[in-house]
């Protein structure tokens, strides 16, 4: 279970709770569910968004690589807007790739859900096995206005068994939308009982050796949990989760 606080230059803090639970497990993978609830601000109005997903993961190459597929439904409890997504992921001890496609299901009277997609590639930082650098690109299809595109560059760090830190710069390629720095502080319970953290300091080896990826079978799916909308002809973009 993860509790997160999202901080940015242009938005009020957002708070979220997220959980991943296993439905069934085999010798080579599993079936799991992920669900979350959080608040966010849209057009100076607080919203509550819920996400529910199902996923399947499979271990490959003597359990040193993990491949997964997932589907999600996102719901705005303050409006009738809903969205679905399909995601793919591939990761090993050093590299992490995931991509998602989003499609609107229901609009509200004043809001239209934007379709879109994103991808993220992350790599372990040499000698810092508890830290990753990532680059992420997203595109949202405009309905009444131009498309919204952007790129994020940042870092993820496991500070200790219970606390993660993520920070990044979000460069939005759209006039009228401000670029911004953001940070996320994530509290994990129960604490991790394996894997490196910042408390381990600098390693003697540059790269993490091929490891058994079984411990990642119940890691959270990385996606944008916030619904992108056009509100009365004005595009509103939120940072990814």
pLDDT tens readout for residues 109-120: 888 999 999 999
Choose the weakest-confidence range: 94-103, 138-147, 217-226: 138-147
> What integer pLDDT is reported at residue 178 of this predicted model?
77
**Residue 27 pLDDT > 70, yes or no?**
yes
| Residue 232 pLDDT class (50, 70, 90 cuts) | low
- Most confident residue range from 40-54, 148-162, 204-218: 148-162
DSSP 175: T
The model carries a pTM of: 0.91
Distance separating alpha carbons of residues 37 and 53, to the nearest angstrom: 12
Each residue's pLDDT tens digit, 146-181: 888 999 999 999 999 999 999 999 998 876 677 889
**Percent of the chain beyond pLDDT 70?**
95
Region 83-98 average pLDDT: 97
**Residue 43 pLDDT > 80, yes or no?**
no
Query: H/E/C letters for each residue in 77-135?
Result: CCCCCEEEEEEEEEECCCEEEEEEEEEEEECCCCEEECCEEEEEEEEEECCEEEEEEEE
Structure tokens at 3: 């509790």
């Amino acid at each position: 279970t993860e509790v997160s606080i999202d901080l940015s230059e242009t938005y009020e803090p957002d708070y979220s709770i997220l959980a991943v639970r296993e439905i069934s497990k085999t010798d080579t993978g599993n079936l799991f569910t992920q669900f979350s609830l959080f608040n966010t601000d849209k057009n100076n109005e607080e919203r509550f968004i819920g996400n529910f997903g199902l996923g399947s993961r499979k271990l490959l190459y003597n359990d040193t690589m993990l491949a997964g597929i997932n589907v999600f439904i996102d719901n705005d409890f303050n409006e009738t807007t809903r969205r679905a997504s399909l995601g793919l992921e591939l990761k090993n001890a050093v590299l992490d790739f995931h991509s998602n496609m989003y499609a609107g299901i229901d609009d509200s009277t004043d809001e239209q859900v934007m379709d879109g997609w994103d991808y993220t590639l992350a790599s372990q930082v040499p000698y810092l096995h508890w830290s990753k650098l990532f680059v992420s690109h997203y595109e949202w299809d405009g309905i009444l206005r131009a498309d919204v595109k952007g790129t994020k560059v940042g870092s993820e760090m496991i500070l200790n068994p219970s606390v993660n830190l993520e920070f990044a710069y979000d460069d939005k390629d759209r006039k009228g939308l401000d670029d911004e720095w953001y940070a996320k502080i994530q509290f994990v319970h129960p604490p991790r009982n394996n894997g490196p953290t910042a408390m381990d300091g600098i390693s003697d080896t540059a790269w993490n050796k091929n490891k058994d990826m079984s411990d990642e079978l119940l890691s959270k799916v990385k996606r944008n949990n916030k619904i992108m909308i056009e509100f009365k002809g004005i595009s509103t973009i939120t940072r990814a989760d």
